[in-house]
Structure 1
């Protein structure tokens, strides 16, 4: 007789787990943090924002019936991240899940780009993800279990036509390959690492009034004919963090409306 003891819906249940989300004050990070709470996790919310974004996220986590911890920290600081993980474990419990969504984007032709513009973006988008993973994994490896999802971009796989952002593209390609490398370093110690590469997504940065013409181009270039909503990044994140993906590590999951097929 076929074994049907597996409870498929429970595979996505994050009850009893503690997550840390960087970039939790806005956009994709904010929505994923709320989604993890809605799936049962308590969530530490980390961002350098001081405009109330973290408070909004914390309110939504509370509305989902879960606990949160708000952490004002810069992902370019290793000591600050180590302290954030320590506080998370002291106040919420052993860290088992993490999503690293903190990042910035800007553009400039390569031949005109100032060195500090290049370096600042790399420090946040690439070094920041490395330091976040390092701090999170140190805790997870000590517990013998954990799952990390890093938010990359389809720009780490393709070059966006019409956008002069070689530094951004390079940073996201780096996140993808760095995540694969970490996945293999930790594969036999209970910690999984994967990436999500969103396509054009309707974040606050992409929906500013001055972006209306650019947004129209983004929609026209995407096979599905629209940008993703931030809600559409929640399911992929929950999947990769949950037991539903227990045999998945070192994967880059494109969530791009078919963009990379053309």
Structure 2
């Protein structure tokens, strides 16, 4: 076997949600370097334009599409339109997600709870359903969901029951879809990162009351870089992981060891 060739994605098309920056953008770069045609999506046109320019400068074939993953009809419309135009999406990276300010459960309002669950869990389901339908018809596809170690542990010192619940749900969604679709050759796996050196995490990381306890509980004593999640996404998207479905790969700098 040509082992390195198993990571190649030549001729395949990948659709990545929440790809205007951070993990999504790095994943787009990683998959493009492996030969994939890339479609990035997100809710901020300026971020998408900047991201697309950064990828094109590197010689990557990339398209950018506005998409709010919480809009079921819009998500289905994009998946159907791409298929109708002959663009076969072979890979979906369901990356779009949000965090929320530290909020005690007893003080959390309905809107905060609903928003985080809507983006992180329901939006991921809408994306998997819309693109998965076409993969199932072709009997080929690889889906990667971007979860969190928070789907396995309850973080401290911050209070984020909504985020933790959304990611735990996402991991179980991943396993459930994998079980339903495995016999039709559509694989569904996930990644579970620790604190990542991105804009979303760094807002909190700047506070020593948070960063100190985070590092105390992290064996590697550091946050991870978005590129470290992107390389795992590449592995899960490619034939190098052909024997995996329903797996959640921890990229947590050892956090869940203890």
Fold match by TM threshold 0.5: yes
Alignment RMSD (CA, Å): 1.6
For structure 1, list consecutive stretches of 5 or more residues without a partner in the other structure.
Answer: 1-5
Q: Secondary structure at the match of 2:105?
A: coil
The normalised TM-score by structure 1 is 0.93
Structure 2 match to 1:43 = 38
Whole-Å separation in 2 of the counterparts to 1:171 and 1:226: 24
Picking from 49, 69, 73, the partner of 2:63 is 69
After alignment, is 201-210 or 191-200 more displaced? 201-210
Q: Secondary structure at the match of 1:111?
A: helix
Q: Secondary structure at the match of 2:64?
A: strand
The correspondence of residues 221-232 of structure 1 with structure 2, limited to 5 A, is 221-232=217-228
- The alignment status of 1:83 with 2:77, answered yes or no, reads yes
Whole-Å separation in 1 of the counterparts to 2:6 and 2:28: 18
Structure 1 match to 2:22 = 27
Picking from 231, 234, 240, the partner of 2:230 is 234
Equivalent pairs, count: 256
The correspondence of residues 198-237 of structure 1 with structure 2, limited to 5 A, is 198-208=193-203, 211-213=206-208, 214-237=210-233
Whole-Å separation in 2 of the counterparts to 1:160 and 1:125: 17
Whole-Å separation in 2 of the counterparts to 1:57 and 1:247: 32
Whole-Å separation in 2 of the counterparts to 1:236 and 1:53: 23
Distance 1:234 1:217, change over 3 A: same
Structure 2 match to 1:99 = 93
Whole-Å separation in 2 of the counterparts to 1:35 and 1:192: 19
Distance 1:209 1:237, change over 3 A: closer
Q: Secondary structure at the match of 2:166?
A: helix
Distance 1:119 1:61, change over 3 A: same
The normalised TM-score by structure 2 is 0.95
Structure 2 match to 1:253 = 249
The correspondence of residues 142-221 of structure 1 with structure 2, limited to 5 A, is 142-208=137-203, 211-213=206-208, 214-221=210-217
Structure 1 match to 2:107 = 112
Deviation at 1:87, TM superposition (A): 4.0
Whole-Å separation in 2 of the counterparts to 1:158 and 1:243: 30
Whole-Å separation in 2 of the counterparts to 1:203 and 1:93: 31
Deviation at 1:216, TM superposition (A): 4.0
Distance 1:179 1:158, change over 3 A: same
Distance 1:63 1:86, change over 3 A: farther
